[in-house]
Structure formats: C-alpha cells, structure tokens
Chains A and B, each alone.
Chain A
Amino acid sequence: MASPPDRRSLLDLTLAPGTDARALSDEAHRVAVAALATGTNLQAPLERLRGRSVLLTSATQLPTVLAALALDGIARRILLCLPDIAESDLPSIMAEGEVELVVTDGSGPQPSAGAARVAAGSAVRPGDVALEDRSVPTEWVLFTSGTTGRPKMVAHTLESLTGPLDDGLKVQERPVWSTFYDVRRYGGLQILLRALLGGGSMVLSSASEPVGDFLVRVGQSGVTHISGTPSHWRRALMSPNANRMAPRYVRLSGEVADQAILDHLKQAYPHSDVAHAFASTEAGVAFDVRDGLAGFPASYIDQPGTKAEMRVIDGTLRIRSSRTSSGYLGTAPRLGDTEGFIDTGDMVERRGERYYFVGRREGVINVGGQKVFPEEVEAVINRHPAVQMSKVWARKSPITGAIVAADLVLREGAGPLAGIREPILQMCRDQLAAHKVPVSLRAVPSLPVGPAGKLLRHD
C-alpha cells in the first residue's frame, strides 16, 4: 500500500468509511463516531497542543482514545500511558519523552510536576475541529509490558501501526470489534485501529469490570470480532457467561496459542473463524494463522520481499518489516541487527512443514543442562479435558539444579487432582522427553494473569 503524499490523520481515516451507527463505548459511556467530526473531548483549543509532546493518562481507556483521535496530526508526539505504570517512573518517562502537556481526566498515573494539564473526559463536546490542519507526522509512543524494571517506550508512526491491517482479512460491513486487551497496549491498539479504519464500532474493556460482566456487555453490543491473549480466553471460557456472545471472528495473540485453546474456542464459538497472530510491540504484527492449527507454516520463513520478513536464527524468530517500530525512546538499547531484523526472543522449532513456538528464550528451565520451555509442557497438559489452564515452573532440585513442576487450574466438576494425576502425567510421558515431564502437579484455584493479559511467570 503506497502512502499518499499527504498524510491522512487517524481522524480522517476513521471518518472516511462513513459514521452511520458507529460508536466507541466502554462500561459507562457511548460516543458516536459521527460526533468526532465536529468535536473533541479536550477542554482546551487544539492549537494549544499543536507540535507538542503530550502524555495521555487515564484509568479507563476512552478518554485516552478520544484524545488520541483528536491529536493525531496535531501533536508532535503522543505517549499512551498505561494505567499500571508506577508514578515514581513518571519523572524519567516525562523527561525522555520531552513531555510538555498532560492530557488526563484526573485518573490514572499522575505526574506530580513538570507539565501543564489539559482536562479530557469520556464525552465529546462540539467545537470547530473539521478544518484543523492535521499534517503533523505524530509519533505514537507505546509502553511495553516488561516484567521487571521500568517499561520501555517504543516509538511508532501511524503508518507502522496501521501497516498490519492490510492483511486480507475479510470483514463484513459495520463490524463491532472488541478486545480483552487494554487498547493502549500494542495488541489492543491493533484492534482499535481495525475498528476505526474498517468502518466499525469498538467496545472497550475495563480493568475494574468482572470478566463475566464484560462478556455480557460484549454480547449485548453485538460484537462480531474479538481478540485476547490465550490466558484471557482461558479465563473467559471459565465464565458461565462465555456463551453470552456469538462472535464471527476470534483472535488470539500475545502468548503461544496451543492446540487445546484453539480447539476449545472453536467448540465454544462454532460459527467463528479462530485465528492466532504473532506480534510484538517492537516488531509489529508478523503474521496471522487462520487454519485453526497451532504453529505456522514453514513457508512463512525466509521469503524476501514479503511485508514482514522472517528468519530463524539460533532457534529464535527474527522479523523485519515496515510495521516495525522506529526504536526505543531514551536510553534503551537499539532495536534490530545490522540488517534491521528484530530478535523477538521467541524460540521456534520445526516439525515437518510447520514451525511451533516452544517458549520464550528467557523462560527456559534448565534440568541438569537440558532445556525445557514451560510452554511446551503446558501445551501437553492443557490438552487433558479436566485442565482449564496450567503453569509450568522450575522447582529447585539439589541434583539437577531444577526440575519441572506444574500448577493446574482444573475445570469445574473435574473432581480432585488425585483422580487424574496419573493420566495427565502419562500424557506427558508419552509426548515429552523424560526431563520435561513434571515431577509434581499441584491444583490451584487460579493462576495470576498480569495487566498485559499474559500468564505471570515470575513469582
């Protein structure tokens, strides 16, 4: 897709497909897309923000979404602050992001000093915005979900963010999109952009809303397309309200999608297409897989000239594409190797004509010098019908340094673990090398899922 000589802003691209019956909604608000043509949620003239670096912060997502729509093409840079960022990290974030203005509804992480504030809520007020000049090439800064330390700030452009949308996914008229993700994270922002540019509506999730209530809201809003991480989906399928929605398209990203979760989703939503996508905040979306099978075809690798070119080096997946971010802000290390390939840290293994994700390089368990990826063991355990989800962890061993152990969340009515321990272990012995078989299984009521929707692996 050649980019037109005149940059089109997110607002232009959103309004272009028409605005009839389109809306952005959250737990408590509904904003008609048509209203964006003539107003903003900012309680300040847009000119005050022209050319500025602006931090957008709010506890719920809608104030930030509305402000980003108003400011793309106006602000020099917008930083999408995540609600779980520590306020103690804000001074350095503000300095590295050269933040001049903070747009906020007063909730979410609040800097104590350093920049003037502009109030922005969850409602759009009429104003004269149609004739604004939106030619500034706004830089979009996203925060990564890093498990330790201060989150990294990853710079994108609207072009790098919208690049993956051109993937041939056929979507009917007026789709209603939703995601378990916070749309200020890369995986969620992809879905918001699909809704906005594809002529659709968007139903935003809320961190404070019980998952069962969200599922009901999704159903009532007529959501047709919905995404989440495998952990989001496992949790959703545990809810008695899972059957309250009837999506046509179910998407997984952010973690390894094993065959069990793909099968369970197809079973729960038989009229949907179930697809899993691979993306990272830094590398962008690399591909999606629509055949309902875990892993991806080996033919995806080493295809020069494709929009997202992939290589496997030392067992990890590397990606180079125009959707790749422009780099980190501040002092974080440079992205990519000399040829521009980004190391995703995701280990893959070829079996026949397909590659399978085996786990994160840094999550590997070392059993007496032999490697075990928690994800490959979980993928086997999760296929047992009594298991809802599992987490494999490194149990200390005085003999081999570490040995594999697993915590399991059992399905309702599965009965006590004692009754199924041996069949689960036998499945593992049949399908895994001996050092990968858990030495102990433990039933737990739930497993912690972090704010990015991924299973937390660090205790």
Chain B
Amino acid sequence: MSTAGKDIRGFILEQVQAVARQQKKTLAPLSDGLPLLESGLDSLCIAIIVANLDDELGLDPFASGAVDMPVTLGDFIRLYEHGVAA
C-alpha cells in the first residue's frame, strides 16, 4: 500500500464511481466542495465505499468513533489521508 495521499484520493474517487455505477446512481460532477448528500450517493453507497476502503486499504478512520461525520467529498477524502499520515 502506498502512503502517497494522491494515490488514496485516486483510489477513493475510483471507488465512488464504481459504486455509483454498481448501484445505478447518477453522480454530480465530483469536486472537494461537493456535499456528499448532493453527490448522488445515498447512505448505502457511502457505507459500501467505507467497507471497500477498509478491505482494500486497511483503513477505517471511523473505527475510533471520535471523527466528525464528513460533510463534503473533500472532508471524506481528508479523513482517509489523515488516517495514513497519522
């Protein structure tokens, strides 16, 4: 597993698109400022992405229970990047 933040960002964006395809959701144009709830993903999609990231990257930033729920896609990505940096 690479620790480069760019790889994690790329991996997460791939996951977002793959899960949206699989769940037949239409995605809004992705940007860091995009609120997750307006991205076209529902909470089931986000739950699937979180589980996949845990399986593929071994990262579960929510495990500590002390994280704020991410509001935007950028918040979500940073949660994982910080997990690696820590």
Chain A interfacial positions (CB closer than 8 Å to B)? 367-368, 395, 397-400, 403, 405, 429, 434-435, 439-440
Contact = CB atoms under 8 A, between A and B. Distances in A.
Interface residues of B, number: 14
The 5 A-B residue pairs with the shortest CB-CB distance in the complex, in nearest-first order? A398-B62, A399-B47, A400-B47, A439-B51, A397-B47
B51 A434 contact: no
A439 B48 contact: yes
B68 to A, nearest CB: 12
A403 to B, nearest CB: 5
Q: Which of B22, B44, B55 has most chain A Cβ within 10 Å?
A: B44
Contacts of A367: 44, 47
Contact of B43 (A368, A429, A440): A368
A439 B43 contact: no
Contacts of A403: 44, 47-48, 51
A399 B23 CA distance: 16
Contact of B44 (A395, A405, A435): A435
Q: Which of B23, B48, B50, B60 has most chain A Cβ within 10 Å?
A: B48
B39 interface: no
B50 A399 contact: yes
B47 A439 contact: yes
A398 B70 CA distance: 11
Nearest to A395: B51
Contacts of A439: 47-48, 51-52
A345 to B, nearest CB: 27
A435 B60 CA distance: 21
A440 B50 contact: no
A397 B51 contact: yes
Contacts of B44: 367-368, 400, 403, 434-435
B35 to A, nearest CB: 15
Contacts of A440: 51, 55
B50 A398 contact: yes
Looking at chain B's contact residues, is the secondary structure mostly helix, strand, loop, or mixed? Answer: helix
Looking at chain A's contact residues, is the secondary structure mostly helix, strand, loop, or mixed? Answer: mixed
Contacts of B50: 397-399
A429 B48 CA distance: 14
Contacts of B62: 398
A395 B22 CA distance: 20
Given A403-B44, A405-B51, A439-B51, 13 more contacts: A367-B44, A368-B44, A397-B50, A398-B50, A398-B63, A399-B46, A400-B47, A429-B22, A434-B23, A434-B44, A435-B44, A439-B48, A440-B51
8 contacts: A368-B43, A397-B50, A397-B51, A400-B44, A403-B44, A434-B23, A434-B44, A439-B52
A368 B46 CA distance: 11
B39 to A, nearest CB: 14
A405 B51 CA distance: 10
Contacts of A405: 51
Contacts of B52: 439
A328 B36 CA distance: 53
Contacts of A398: 47, 50, 60, 62-63
B51 A368 contact: no
A367 B44 CA distance: 8
Interface string B48-86: 101110010000101100000000000000000000000
Contacts of B22: 429
Nearest to A402: B47
Contacts of A435: 44
B43 A399 contact: yes
Contacts of B63: 398
Q: Which of B51, B55, B60, B62 has most chain A Cβ within 10 Å?
A: B51
A367 B23 CA distance: 16
Interface string B1-27: 000000000000000000000110000
Contacts of B55: 440
